[in-house]
Structure 1
């Protein structure tokens, strides 16, 4: 209970520090959402090939906005200043990181500034936002989160029980090996929250894990239900994509003013960058083989023809990256918005025509745990360990947010 109370205490301090008069919140909410949508559209249209690089773009842009809106100088109108500061920060960061979208971003920027009265509040807000963006961009130069660094070559170990090997059908080189060397935003080291080892391959625990994924994750499974297949397909895509809409729902309902909204988005993505770094640290510390390799070549009733429902990603099993992401997202949203929320609908690009409704962030995590088993690409132990790792990193980010958010 104590770590959870610490997180909630930190969240309470954050919320208290960003409260603004309710009468002036409506306009600032629309500004936050406009730039949230602009960020999402920028990354969807011209983002990097690696998820963590796009998480970095979110984190840099909105960390600059959170710092720029944190305090308002005396003598200027608060709302106008903060709107201009947020727009100045996110616009400057995005056009620097994704210059191919400058025309669209410039149009959104003009719309924002046209709606703000001309004068000192607007001018000083823009200047503050651009200054913070430049400082954050400078601080993240050479952080190892560019696609080439992220996918640094990985020397595959000789085949042995439990050791990761490239997986069918493409037998592609390992991905995300370089994440484990990248510079975190807040973690002291990449290995700060390294998990304990996965279940031994000769243990009863591992045998049970493998039996479950063999039965429920097979392409031709006779026991997986239609709903379970839908769950696997619904959560198949990029975690960044799948959590963009839930975070937007939280942002649209957060009664914290523009500074609180900027902090919500910033801390969400800072936590996710650091979580992905920690995920690769644990993945490549243990180099655990994937279920398809274990089932086809292992000693437990090997089946060389076994095929998972979905293609196995090209990196080790333990922990599940989808679930580290889910654990971090759940922790940040629960702390800063509350664990439950009024019902909201969610769709998925990998499950056309399917709409699911949620009332708690934990529901998304629970479905992620099941989904990767039903897809045949992770053991349950890897999924549950992922939730633990993401939760641990996000708690640390929330507890240490103050030293990250202070304007430079």
Structure 2
């Protein structure tokens, strides 16, 4: 009898320990911080490598979709984006009846796709090795660890193969933008007089929209040097605004600058100040929102994927218009026709003026985030702290987007129509993406 009781007691404690061990590693591994940190690492490398805003958005889209396609296996209510975004066919599935750590597989997919699309692989490798060790230290069984890494790799490879068919590689060899003699068209601006960035971006395969022209904005104001013309009035508005900026307006312009191309000139030396891209800023706002509501790792990947798609399609749409209208920048126009000594608060980015890229992607991102987290979602944006700026607080994503848009006028780099019509373009695109992409199985079933 005593032996029987002793056996039952030992068996109970053995079962309890095994159960506790399982709960512990699964609880640790399911921490959404693994996803947030993986995305942030790619952002840091994007900043380091000085990718242009459109190219950065492409990186975010592919890595976020890869992470999402893995993560959804951790929650049955989420649906794949395969067949919903252009060109993405059936994604590899986990093996039935086998145990996986899907948060680990998710991080694997994000980091492998990110590593493939950036330049500084060594920075990705060091971070990757440390994160993998954290997963091992959580106590994940060896077979589960290896199986999960293999699955994340399979999905990453699938997404990387898909990315190779979007015309990006081919566009690297397309001809440079040719400067036109027309006084109405964009010209390189000081201090670096850089070549036009990504003049063929409208040839990149879009993700959710049908084509680069689907949300083509109203035409820009007709160019004129007549002081009574509408175009002159719009340029003069930027000029007058720039001369009378308040401290608050200066802070807003700097907070939303997000220009990875800022060049500093000291004598004969020129060097770049590295900053986060506009897309990176909105990806970090996504992180802020997720953490504020304690979103699970699956919810976080959903948010990152939908915002990233809004960003990349927003840039494709915006860049299509930029190189169609090729509108001259305020700095060039004002120096030639109003005040040759005027300089904008912000450094003018190296591409045509219309529409405002920040306005387009901010409008689209705000719509997407509102669909996920609701209207009147108050938050504090700490994105720019690491770049020497303070936080800013907003009552909603829409308020943040509106501030981001008007910041371009405060900075002296856009006329009003580029800001207003850019927001309209972005909102229309964002609403389309929210309606089209179904990330919940019930929504997908209802749509059919």
TM tier, shorter chain? Answer: 0.7 to 0.9
- 1:249-260 superposed matches below 5 A: 249-254=288-293, 256-260=295-299
The superposition leaves residues 321-365 of structure 1 with CA deviations (integer Å, 9 ceiling, x where unpaired) of: 121121122111111122333432425269735332223112222
Which structure's CA Rg is the greater one? Answer: 2
Q: Take 1:149 and 1:211, find their aligned partners in 2: how far apart are those partners?
A: 37
The superposition leaves residues 107-145 of structure 1 with CA deviations (integer Å, 9 ceiling, x where unpaired) of: 212312442532765555433322211111001115344
Q: Retained in 1: the 8 A contact 2:255–2:389?
A: no
Q: Take 1:380 and 1:105, find their aligned partners in 2: how far apart are those partners?
A: 44
- Say if 2:253 is the partner of 1:198: no
The TM-score normalised by the length of structure 1 is: 0.80
1:17 corresponds to: none
Cα pair distance change 1:167/1:87, threshold 3 Å: closer
- Say if 2:82 is the partner of 1:70: no
My pick for the range that moved more, 30-39 or 174-183, is: 30-39
Cα offset, 1:282, TM superposition: 0.5
The superposition leaves residues 248-273 of structure 1 with CA deviations (integer Å, 9 ceiling, x where unpaired) of: 10222345532221111112112211
Q: Retained in 2: the 8 A contact 1:88–1:126?
A: yes
Q: For the aligned residues, what is the CA RMSD?
A: 3.2
The TM-score normalised by the length of structure 2 is: 0.74
1:236 corresponds to: 257
Total equivalences in the alignment: 373
Q: Take 1:66 and 1:350, find their aligned partners in 2: how far apart are those partners?
A: 27
Q: Retained in 1: the 8 A contact 2:217–2:422?
A: no
Q: Retained in 2: the 8 A contact 1:340–1:359?
A: yes
- 1:111-190 superposed matches below 5 A: 111-115=134-138, 117-118=140-141, 122-145=145-168, 149=172, 152-160=175-183, 162-190=184-212
Q: Take 1:140 and 1:344, find their aligned partners in 2: how far apart are those partners?
A: 34
1:316 corresponds to: 352
- Say if 2:212 is the partner of 1:212: no
Cα offset, 1:155, TM superposition: 1.3
Q: Retained in 2: the 8 A contact 1:164–1:316?
A: yes
Q: Take 1:343 and 1:245, find their aligned partners in 2: how far apart are those partners?
A: 12
Q: Take 1:150 and 1:322, find their aligned partners in 2: how far apart are those partners?
A: 27
Equivalent residue for 2:429, pick from 363, 382, 393? 393
User: Please, which runs of 5 or more residues in structure 2 have no aligned partner?
Assistant: 1-25, 75-93, 259-276
Cα offset, 1:382, TM superposition: 0.5
The superposition leaves residues 273-319 of structure 1 with CA deviations (integer Å, 9 ceiling, x where unpaired) of: 11111111011111111112222335xxx333332222222211110
Cα pair distance change 1:90/1:364, threshold 3 Å: same
User: Please, which runs of 5 or more residues in structure 1 have no aligned partner?
Assistant: 1-22
Q: Retained in 1: the 8 A contact 2:344–2:411?
A: yes
Q: Take 2:37 and 2:252, find their aligned partners in 1: how far apart are those partners?
A: 31
